[in-house]
Amino acid sequence: MSYKVRDRLKIIGGKKLKGEVKVQTSKNATLPIMSASLLAEGKVYLKDCPDIIDVQNMAKILKKLGANIVRTQDDYLIDSSNIKDVCLDYDLCKTMRSSIFLLGSTLAKFQSICLTMPGGCKIGKRPIDIHIEAFRRLNVKVTQLDDFVFFNASKARAGKIRLKLPSVGATENIVQFACKLKGKTIIYNSAREPEVVDLCNFLNKMGAKIYGAGTKKITIIGVEKLQGVEYKPISDRIVLGTLLVATAICGGTIRLIDKNINQNKKLIEILALMGCQINIKNDIITLSRDVPLKSVQKICTGYYPNFPTDLQSMLMVLNCVANGQTRIEEQVFENRFLIVGELKKMGAKIDIVNNHTAIVSGVRQLKAGKLKAYDLRGGASLVLAGLVAKGETIIENVHYIDRGYCHIENMLKSLGADIERI
């Protein structure tokens, strides 16, 4: 599918949602797996990849490196055997934060790399100092110059690393790099997100020896060779959460097909407290809401298994139309409240205490308006606000939303929403 930077979404609010959706494959799992495919001495066949901007850009970066990529519908066949040298595309890397995932695999493959400081959503400071310090612990030489960072792994050796924060990106980079590094590497305080586990499962299927994925300690035993495989990344827990919150906001009943429902345990608990009826059976979750919403007293984000920062702005919108008051504490990124100004245009009552705390007081009705998305998840949250607002809402900067949702308007329209791309 093609996306255009000037696309907008037009939403007529007030429709209840009803229907069934199969949740798309995870963006945050697919991107590092595409990066790790560079390590294979053979072809990698990735099934059911989401057709979104970030995945399209990652494929372009790999092609620029010299990989042969064949796309059939939503499947990718990646052959990296002809890559002889690495020079990451400056413009493409500046478009998305996820280009940082290429550090571990390219450094393992070529021993040296010049990395452009990655781009992405402006949701707060996301320096790569944790990555740099981790690589230095493995005796990788790192030199910084303006927007470029030079890595040289010619004298790298296995070792022990303790991350100061359970960074997903740093964990995934070290895992990829250490897979082919002779000896035993141990990561303490490693990220436990399902997407990290999925990357480790992918690499293990290729022949890696990774132990402890999903815990605070990951051990990697280096191997000489990784083989090509066929693999399907996990489903997207944030897309699942978005649809659950959308139905909680609008009312109605939806059924979502997803093999990893329990990854959203914290969200499901909150939605149940707010008045939603939820039933989980095998790979299907059904959510209904036909009573007034009740605010929850406090929502606090954190690293997995705590409540995900990527769903925080959606819970903010939900509590904007609930009875009562909610305190939201954002403990991961300091600019996750960019959405507040747009919500206030719609009549929301939100007080910002500081960069990390907001107080939301519910109102009876949000009013439609002309809004701008400033980041991926905040943009999706504005869509949810438009679904419940009275009147016609126009959302600009839809390209942010397109980075993580495969035509969000088609998915919501299939559930009965009045929404279209213009």
Q: Would you name the residues annotated as active-site residues?
A: 121
Token pair belonging to 143: 């030199």
The DSSP H or E segment spanning 284 is strand 284-289
Q: Can you say whether the dihedral through the CA atoms of 275, 25, 207, 181 is positive or negative?
A: negative
What is the residue whose two structure tokens read 């690393």? 161
Structure tokens at 72: 């059939």
Q: 298-300 and 325-329: which strand pairing?
A: parallel
Q: What share of the chain is helix, strand, coil (3-state, %, to 5)?
A: 35, 25, 40
SS3 420: strand
Rg of the chain, C-alpha, whole Å: 21
In sign, the C-alpha dihedral spanning 344, 18, 278, 238 is negative
CA-nearest of 298, 336, 310, 294 to 242 is 310
Residue 76 to residue 97: CA distance in whole angstroms: 21
Whole-number Å distance between alpha carbons of 121 and 366: 26
Residues 6+ apart with CB under 8 A from 101: 31, 32, 35, 169, 172, 173, 176
| Per-residue tokens: 350 | 């939100």
End-to-end Cα spacing for the chain:
15
With beta carbons less than 8 A apart as the criterion, state whether 314 and 381 touch.
yes
CA separation for the pair 142, 152 (Å, rounded) = 7
Whether 395 and 8 have beta carbons less than 8 Å apart is answered as yes
Please name every residue paired with 116 in a beta bridge, in sequence order, or none if there are none.
Answer: 148
DSSP per residue, 272-320: HHTT-EEEEETTEEEEEE-S--B--SEEEB-STTSB-GGGHHHHHHHHH
